[in-house]
Amino acid sequence: MYLRTLQTAAMHKATLTKYIPLKASDIKALIPAQVVFLLTFHDLEAMRSSRGYVASTTTYFLNKGVNSRESLSSCMDSIVEKVIRGCLNELNTRVMQHSLPVTISSELQKLLVASCHRIARARDIAGKYLNRMITSLPSLMCDEPLVCAILEVLTLLRRACEGEYTDEVCLILHLRWVPPQCFQYNPAHHFTSARSNLTIELTDSYATRNEILVLLHKNANHWLTLGISRAPIEVRRTLQVRSAVYLKRLLIPLFRNI
């Protein structure tokens, strides 16, 4: 057997080209350090997602420097696509064996929160990942905390969009005394749900908030339809439990007061 000689950097470039062959022309323009970074991104996220830790993929897209490089950014998109495909293959096998990782529910909730992020690229990647996961594995909608989190995020988004027409009050810790009127007309960016124990961080733009709400509302309808057709009793039970909580905590005290 003969051995082929190759520069270490060229060998890493060849490996990366093997992973994402469609981006071969972009890879040629990358410097060795960027190739090592992309391989790290691929290997680390592939390992994490195969063990049920899917939410960390979006964190790479929060940095302005990473998002501003065209060739790097397009390669990262292709790597995310490959990681999602690998993760779905792995999870599909594990669904058959009824051995889905226990972390998957909390990780999907993190993806749901990231799909409302103020940074557009992180938001898009998280939304795409979540949509692919749930449409490929509709049985994930049998998970009560995930369904509740989706409904809670929809409620929070609606409240955030209504902020356009109300005097938003954002409670900020001030170190010195400020007149009460200063608290008014401050846009609120953080919205918290104590029931699902999550906080979403939104952009200033009400147009973008509305876009996020419309997209999530459309996706949530689709996911619930898929979930109901797959496991009608489980999903209906989850929705009924949530409706009962809503009725008990909000409506009954309201009628009592009337």
Partner 1 sequence: MNRRPDFYNVYLLEILALFADKGIAIQTAATSNATDTEMKNLMAELCSLLLPIDALLDHTDFHPGHNPSSLLTTRFRNMWFICVLFNFTPSPQRASCMTDWHIGALSRIAEKTPPIVLEEAYDFITTDLEFNPVLREDYLEKVCCIAP
Between strands 198-201 and 190-193, the pairing is: antiparallel
- Per CB under 8 A, 2 contacts partner 1: yes
99 vs 181 by CB, closer to partner 1: 99
By CB neighbour count within 10 A (0-12 exposed, 13-18 middle, 19+ buried), where does 150 fall? buried
Min. distance of Cβ 62 from partner 1 in angstroms? 4
- Per CB under 8 A, 99 contacts partner 1: no
Is residue 204 helix, strand or coil?
A: coil
- Contacts by 109-113 with C-beta closer than 8 Å and gap 24+? 109/145, 109/146, 109/149, 109/196, 109/198, 110/55, 111/54, 111/55, 111/58, 112/146, 112/149, 112/150, 112/153, 112/198, 113/153, 113/198, 113/199, 113/200
The values of phi and psi at residue 191, to 5°, are: -125, 130
Unique residue bearing structure tokens 């459309």:
218
- Per CB under 8 A, 77 contacts partner 1: no
From 26, 53, 116, 196, residue interacting with partner 1 (rule: CB under 8 A): 53
Q: How many residues does the chain have?
A: 258
From 65, 97, 173, 177, residue interacting with partner 1 (rule: CB under 8 A): 65
- Per CB under 8 A, 8 contacts partner 1: yes
Handedness of CA 8, 67, 119, 90 (dihedral sign): negative
Min. distance of Cβ 160 from partner 1 in angstroms? 21
From 4, 98, 174, 176, residue interacting with partner 1 (rule: CB under 8 A): 4
11 vs 178 by CB, closer to partner 1: 11
Stretch that binds partner 1, among 36-44, 104-112, 137-145, 248-256 (CB under 8 A): 36-44
Stretch that binds partner 1, among 4-12, 77-85, 124-132, 172-180 (CB under 8 A): 4-12
119 vs 169 by CB, closer to partner 1: 119
- Per CB under 8 A, 106 contacts partner 1: no
CB 89 within 8 A of CB 50: no
Instruction: Give dist(CA 243, CA 227) in Å, integer.
Output: 17
Min. distance of Cβ 254 from partner 1 in angstroms? 39
- Per CB under 8 A, 169 contacts partner 1: no
From 17, 48, 100, 228, residue interacting with partner 1 (rule: CB under 8 A): 48
From 46, 88, 154, 231, residue interacting with partner 1 (rule: CB under 8 A): 46
Instruction: Give dist(CA 253, CA 36) in Å, integer.
Output: 59
From 3, 172, 173, 254, residue interacting with partner 1 (rule: CB under 8 A): 3
CB 171 within 8 A of CB 188: no
125 vs 161 by CB, closer to partner 1: 125
CB 49 within 8 A of CB 87: yes
Binding site residues, partner 1, CB under 8 A: 1-9, 11-12, 15, 18, 31-34, 36-37, 39-40, 43-44, 46-48, 51, 53, 56, 59-60, 62-63, 65-66, 69, 72, 119
